[in-house]
């Protein structure tokens, strides 16, 4: 099996991971609610990811909710020494599939406590605020995570779905190790956030890295490059993200082992400057 050949990034200047990670959102039921149809198969996907050299797994308490975190523990604990497990808090779910912001400090503290239990750890490597809550002062939410970091139950703090202004505000409160925003070949609205992460050596985790297959005006160039390189379009999109910036940490998710292997294969695809230029046009 091809191994993860992506280069590395030091999250928070301390946690060294290969830049291609794994997103565990899809290892749940339909609409990211409830258990998957086959839990043993989901655990096998996680174990295969680690065997392929993936050492960065990202999840959230809202995936399931709670299901993804529990599966990670059941599949991977006791965790390999070099494995970094990141999770997120700040969203509630319901049976309608809604994602409801909850950023009040009490909720974040409780969510973090539950994640500790489900993951089976005493300290979470990277804990991310999942989405700013419009009904809660942003500084209060970040301060709650800063306090948990001071207590030693969070090693590094991350943010998700934030603007440059919010990143700057958070950095005045606590060291920010990562930002997780939507970003892919067809969606680059947060170029300014990525640029700020580059300036501060903050890891940028692009969610929806494969664009759900929607690349609009990039589709022709993408198809041409994939055909010329005998690669899948998804592999080209991942290779583009890895080449686009040295701080990007793509976390493609899947519930299928063969798809997982294809994603890892993208780390063996070095795009040329000419190919990058065609994809960027």
Kindly list the catalytic residues.
63
Beta carbons within 10 angstroms of residue 229's beta carbon: 16
Q: Which two tokens stand for residue 92?
A: 């509630």
**Of the candidates 161, 185, 193, 179, the residue with the CA atom closest to the CA atom of residue 236:** 185
Integer Cα distance of 85 and 102 in angstroms: 22
Q: Are 253 and 210 in contact (CB under 8 A)?
A: no
> Six-digit token pair at 119?
């993951």
Residue 191 makes CB contacts below 8 A (sequence gap 6+) with none
Look at residue 164 and give its three-state secondary structure: helix
* Look-up of token digits 């604990």: 77
Helix axes 39-51, 67-76, angle to 10 degrees: 60
Q: Which residues pair with 64 in a beta bridge?
A: 33
| Residues ≥6 apart with Cβ < 8 Å to 141 | 90, 103, 104, 105, 108, 129, 132, 133
SS3 per residue for 25-84: CCCCCHHHECCCCCHHHHHHHHHHHHHCCCCEEECCCCCECCHHHHHHHHHHCCCCCCCE
């Amino acid at each position: 099996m091809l191994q993860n050949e992506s280069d590395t990034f030091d999250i928070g200047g301390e946690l060294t991971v290969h830049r291609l990670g794994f997103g565990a959102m899809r290892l749940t039921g339909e609409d990211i609610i409830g258990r998957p149809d086959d839990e043993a198969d989901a655990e096998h996907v996680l174990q295969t990811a680690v065997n392929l050299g993936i050492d960065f797994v990202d999840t959230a308490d809202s995936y399931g909710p709670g299901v993804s975190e529990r599966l990670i523990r059941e599949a991977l604990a006791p965790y390999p020494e070099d494995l970094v497990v990141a999770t997120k808090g700040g969203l509630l779910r319901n049976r309608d599939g809604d994602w409801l912001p909850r950023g009040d400090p009490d909720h974040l503290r409780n969510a973090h406590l539950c994640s500790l239990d489900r993951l089976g750890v005493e300290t979470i490597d990277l804990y991310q605020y999942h989405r700013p809550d419009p009904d809660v002062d942003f500084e209060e939410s970040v301060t709650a995570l800063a306090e948990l970091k001071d207590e030693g139950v969070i090693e590094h703090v991350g943010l998700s779905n934030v603007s440059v202004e919010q990143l700057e505000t958070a950095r005045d409160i606590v060291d920010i190790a990562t930002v997780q925003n939507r970003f892919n070949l067809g969606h680059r609205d947060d170029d300014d956030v990525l640029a700020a992460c580059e300036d501060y050596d903050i890891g940028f985790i692009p969610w929806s890295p494969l664009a759900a297959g929607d690349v609009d005006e990039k589709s022709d160039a993408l198809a041409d490059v994939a055909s010329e390189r005998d690669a899948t379009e998804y592999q080209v999109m991942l290779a583009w993200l890895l080449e686009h910036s040295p701080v990007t940490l793509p976390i493609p998710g899947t519930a299928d082992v063969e798809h997982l292997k294809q994603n890892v294969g993208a780390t063996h695809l070095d795009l040329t400057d000419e190919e990058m230029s065609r994809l960027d046009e």
